[in-house]
């Protein structure tokens, strides 16, 4: 630790600075009454272009992204670049889908995607399934933000050998996060996102200019990477894809793109926007983050050229590949700049973790607590329950890291993407058509989820010694094909989900089974700020809040 004093000081100063901003955020754009989910959980639905750009960008590009993507490229090569095209593919999807979701949510006061499903399909059961799916898929994602912080702390040598010493800094960091999120709600990550994203951009741009200069140019960096992968016993490793992993690459990129905008935290950031034009402008500007991610991914090759050796966890004896990028900065940059880079990664965990915990809490409050426990809950009661639930969610995330192997949390996150994909027929398609019967959507969800678990159970992870749930690449040979190629589990199961939903829909309609009443109208999907109906609803909400 004594060799990293400067890094620790810089990291601590910046971390405490943004934590202070988190508490100050409670007074930033503060309304007369914070005791309402629209205010605490969605920032008053009032964020403009710049705030939304930083908030959504900070939400989608997490601390784990900044350590895991280069680490995957360090270990496997070209396969790790799947994250770059999928973030490019996602913005046209965002543009088409989330604008409609924003409008109908703004019109009806929806806070979660399950709220929309409940009204659209007149099915509390389907809404409950969507809510539970969102919470389960989000929990390991929050835990993985801790993995990013832990990688930085290991590099600085501040994690001890004992269980308490190893996890104490993370517990303290998340306790601070929990405190200012409880107080400030979505305003806290929105304000912190400005600092987080600015630091990330500075660090990455400096790195991609300075590292090639120091390591002999990009030609030398790619030569070192090619030499490593040529000597690798894994035939799928390399700086280019091969015939065996191309299908996996394509389906993983497409499946990940579909999954990302279905996560509750992605939707929460969008619903906080004040009008449709804010979302349109952001969908046009957010690809700048994809450019950043592409540069960041190249650091995996730079780490190979630098001779980085990932840290071995003394507690488990396993190599922690997530330490690759922190070690690269520690080796190649002055201590003060390495401290800035470490702070950027650490702060990069706070923004998404806060938004994720708020999104999960809103799902519980709106679609479980209010629907099944206390139907007459007031807006103030909803806000209190959501605040408490957000604390419980963070405690659960810390428990995942403290009591489980972090690698298992990583595997859980892969499963989380596949799980959240099963909500696509109800949420994404439901925004455009109500042809699917609510019974068909429930049947599709059950089959898609069941087959997903079966396929994931069949996948081992030789690197970790795990016989089941070891990844998301399913061998096509297990489906009867004579090939060594693999395919992304989520891509297969969401298609199966849709097929079952369509078939059951035809059967139920032939049987003239009641399908409930659609609580939305066509014009709801085009509503915008200033719509007379929205103004009336907002006025009623304000009057209700003042009376309570």
- Is residue 216 in a domain? yes
The whole-angstrom distance between residue 376's C-alpha and the CA centroid of its chain comes to 32
pTM for the complete prediction?
0.90
Classify residue 231 as exposed, middle or buried by CB count within 10 Å of its CB (0-12, 13-18, 19+). Answer: exposed
Helix (H) or strand (E) holding 474: strand 473-475
- Is residue 508 in a domain? no
Average pLDDT for the chain: 86
421 pLDDT above the threshold of 50: yes
Q: What is the pLDDT of residue 547?
A: 40
Strands 473-475 and 319-320: unpaired
- Is residue 81 in a domain? yes
Contact 470, 411 (CB under 8 A): yes
Classify residue 3 as exposed, middle or buried by CB count within 10 Å of its CB (0-12, 13-18, 19+). Answer: exposed
pLDDT tens digits, one per residue of 473-500 = 898 888 888 888 899 999 999 999 999 9
Contact 417, 456 (CB under 8 A): no
- Which of the listed ranges 57-61, 496-500, 521-525, 544-548 does the model predict with the highest average pLDDT? 496-500
221 pLDDT above the threshold of 90: yes
Q: Please report, rounded to a whole number, the percentage of residues in the chain having pLDDT higher than 90.
A: 43
- Is residue 167 in a domain? yes
| Two tokens, residue 135 | 């919470």
Please report the DSSP string for 156-182 in residue order. Answer: HT---SSHHHHHHHHHHHHHHHHHHHH
**How far is the C-alpha of 276 from the C-alpha of 33, rounded, in Å?**
25
Calculate mean pLDDT across residues 300-306. 94
- Is residue 547 in a domain? no
Q: Binning pLDDT at 50, 70 and 90, where does residue 50 land?
A: confident
- Is residue 204 in a domain? yes
Could you give the number of structural domains in the chain?
Answer: 1
- Is residue 128 in a domain? yes
What is the Cβ-side half-sphere exposure of residue 319, based on CA atoms within 13 angstroms? 9
Residue 129 DSSP SS3: helix
544 pLDDT above the threshold of 80: no
Give the chain's count of helices (H) and strands (E). Answer: 23, 4
pLDDT tens digits, one per residue of 314-366 = 666 777 788 899 999 999 999 999 999 999 988 888 888 889 999 999 999 99
Calculate mean pLDDT across residues 298-307. 94
Which residues are bridge partners to 461 per DSSP? 466
Q: What is the pLDDT of residue 165?
A: 60
Residue 184: partners with Cβ closer than 8 Å, 6 or more residues away: 22, 23, 25, 26, 28
- Is residue 457 in a domain? no
536 pLDDT above the threshold of 70: no
Q: Binning pLDDT at 50, 70 and 90, where does residue 58 land?
A: confident
Q: Which long-range contacts (CB under 8 A, 24 or more apart) does 201-204 make?
A: 201/292, 202/340, 202/344, 203/329, 203/337, 203/340, 203/341, 203/344, 204/292, 204/295, 204/296, 204/299
- Structural domain harbouring 279: 2-20+33-422
pLDDT tens digits, one per residue of 147-158 = 888 888 888 887
Query: What CATH number should be reported for the domain holding residue 187?
Result: 1.20.1730.10
**How far is the C-alpha of 15 from the C-alpha of 347, rounded, in Å?**
6
Contact 405, 316 (CB under 8 A): yes
28 pLDDT above the threshold of 70: yes
**How far is the C-alpha of 262 from the C-alpha of 490, rounded, in Å?**
13
Q: What is the pLDDT of residue 76?
A: 87
């Amino acid at each position: 630790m004594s060799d990293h004093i400067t890094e620790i000081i810089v990291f601590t100063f910046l971390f405490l600075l943004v934590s202070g901003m988190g508490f100050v955020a409670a007074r930033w754009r503060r309304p007369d009454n914070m005791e309402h989910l629209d205010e605490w959980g969605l920032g008053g639905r009032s964020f403009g272009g710049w705030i939304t750009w930083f908030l959504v960008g900070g939400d989608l590009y997490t601390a784990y992204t900044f350590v895991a993507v280069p680490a995957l490229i360090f270990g496997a090569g070209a396969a790790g670049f799947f994250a770059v095209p999928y973030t490019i593919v996602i913005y046209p999807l965002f543009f088409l889908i989330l604008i409609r979701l924003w409008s109908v949510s703004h019109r009806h006061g929806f806070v979660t995607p399950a709220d929309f499903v409940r009204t659209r399909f007149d099915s509390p059961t389907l809404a409950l399934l969507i809510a539970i799916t969102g919470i389960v898929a989000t929990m390991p994602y929050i835990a993985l933000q801790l993995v990013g912080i832990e990688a930085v702390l290991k590099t600085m040598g501040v994690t001890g050998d004992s269980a308490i010493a190893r996890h104490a800094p993370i517990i303290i960091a998340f306790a601070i996060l929990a405190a200012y999120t409880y107080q400030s709600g979505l305003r806290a990550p929105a304000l912190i996102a400005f600092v987080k994203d600015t630091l990330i951009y500075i660090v990455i741009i400096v790195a991609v200019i300075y590292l090639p200069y120091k390591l002999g140019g990009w030609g030398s960096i790619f030569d070192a990477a090619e030499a490593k992968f040529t000597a690798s016993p894994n035939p799928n490793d390399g700086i280019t894809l091969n015939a065996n992993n191309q299908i996996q690459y394509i389906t993983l990129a497409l499946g990940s793109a579909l999954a990302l905008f279905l996560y509750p935290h992605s939707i929460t950031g969008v619903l906080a926007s004040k009008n449709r034009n804010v979302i349109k402008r952001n969908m046009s500007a957010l690809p700048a983050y994809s450019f950043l991610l592409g540069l960041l991914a190249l650091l995996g090759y730079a780490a190979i050229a630098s001779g980085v050796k990932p840290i071995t966890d003394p507690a488990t004896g396993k190599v922690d590949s997530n330490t690759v990028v922190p070690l690269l900065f520690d080796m190649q940059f002055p201590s003060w700049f390495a401290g800035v880079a470490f702070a950027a990664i650490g702060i990069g965990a706070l923004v998404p973790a806060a938004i994720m915990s708020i999104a999960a809490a809103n799902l519980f409050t709106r679609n479980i607590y209010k629907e099944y426990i206390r139907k007459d809950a007031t807006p103030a009661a909803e806000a209190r329950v959501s605040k408490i639930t957000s604390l419980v969610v963070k405690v659960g995330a810390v428990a995942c890291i403290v009591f489980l192997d972090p690698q298992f949390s990583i595997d859980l996150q892969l499963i989380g993407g596949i799980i959240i994909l099963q909500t696509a027929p109800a949420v994404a398609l439901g925004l455009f058509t109500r042809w699917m019967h609510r019974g068909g959507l429930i049947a599709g969800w059950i089959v898609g989820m069941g087959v997903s678990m079966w396929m994931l159970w069949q996948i081992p992870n030789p690197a970790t010694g795990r016989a089941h749930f070891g990844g998301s690449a399913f061998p096509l040979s297990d489906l009867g094909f004579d090939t060594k190629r693999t395919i992304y589990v989520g891509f297969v199961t969401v298609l199966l989900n849709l097929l079952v939903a369509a078939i059951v829909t035809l059967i139920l309609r032939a049987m003239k089974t009641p399908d409930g009443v659609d609580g939305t109208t066509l014009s709801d999907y085009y509503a915008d700020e200033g719509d007379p109906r929205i103004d009336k609803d907002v006025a009623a909400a304000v009057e209700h809040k003042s009376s309570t």
